Amino acid sequence: MIDYRLLQALAAVFEQGGFEKAAQALHLTQSAVSQRIKQLESQLGQPLLFRSTPPKPTLMGERLLNHLQQVKQMEASLGLAIDPEDLIIRITVNADSLATWLPEALIIEEYQNLRFDISVEDQAVGLRRMKQGEVMACLCDSAIPVNGGACIALGTMRYRALASPDFIERLNLQVLDTQRLLYAPCLVYSRDDALQHRFMAAMTGAEPKTIHLLPSSEGFVKAALAGLGFGMMPELQVKDLIDNGQLVDVVPGYAQDISLYWHFWQAESPVMAQVRQSVIKAAQRHLYNEL
């Protein structure tokens, strides 16, 4: 059995950013906090945190934090939680959803004091973290649930290949020319971002020759506006820029629709069920319906 006093001490160190502030929050001495964590590590036979500044959890530390939050969620659903602000929802999501429609889904009327710990990951990393018990849910474009989990289709995000009018004119791309397009600077979110490669394969049969890596949804759009390159962008994020002519289609009529799925545990808590329903409702308002 885990002694939850020890686990609370571990959680406080991460939430407060160090042992001293954790001790203050728990009304303990710093030595007492350290001893509780050492005792927990001794019971489990492995380290639970990296003693850096600020401290960071090991893989087992992440799992324990997630377990603690699940316990708190169950307590909240039974009316037993002393402080609803203790609830931290850990999820992984794709960057473009976080930059567009997802934030409004995180306002849960029934649980207004929830805190979210959101990480941006590609689907492989996000689902791996879910398998390892590090997060409670994952939003990505994979339709394959993890063992013990389920997923629900939310709809599709539409992406268009866009650039500034100046970029189109400067590279003489007013009419599609596969050779000019092949060597045109291409904006890519990360090395796992396949959208641009799919576009180039469809248009030229090859991969882009010149790539700029820009791991920021907002920076990606700003780079396109500045004329640094062209890239696949969510229509939802840049509709106003398209409407006012600041961004134009590289190939008019071309679009990619990417299906999104919410992955959750089959034995989810009532709190996470409410989060899931809120995500579904927000998706219905903003995403294209696949049906």
Question: For residues 63 and 18, what is the distance between their CA atoms, to the nearest angstrom?
Answer: 19
Please name each of the domains of the chain with its CATH number: 1-57 (1.10.10.10), 157-257 (3.40.190.10)
* pTM higher than the cut 0.85: no
Which among 199, 120, 207, 215 is positioned nearest to 162, based on CA atoms?
199
Question: For residues 205 and 182, what is the distance between their CA atoms, to the nearest angstrom?
Answer: 9
Tokens 């509709």 -> residue: 239
Q: Above 90 in pLDDT, residue 290? A: no
Instruction: List, for residues 195-230, the tens digit of each pLDDT value.
Output: 999 999 999 999 999 999 999 999 999 999 999 999
**Helices of type H across the chain:** 4-16, 19-26, 30-44, 59-77, 95-98, 123-131, 165-170, 178-183, 195-204, 217-226, 235-243, 270-286
Q: Above 90 in pLDDT, residue 163? A: yes
Q: What angle do CA 167, 168, 174 make, to 5 degrees?
A: 170
Instruction: List, for residues 80-135, the tens digit of each pLDDT value.
Output: 554 555 678 889 999 999 999 999 999 988 887 788 989 998 777 888 888 877 78
Q: What are phi and psi of 28, to 5 degrees?
A: -125, 170
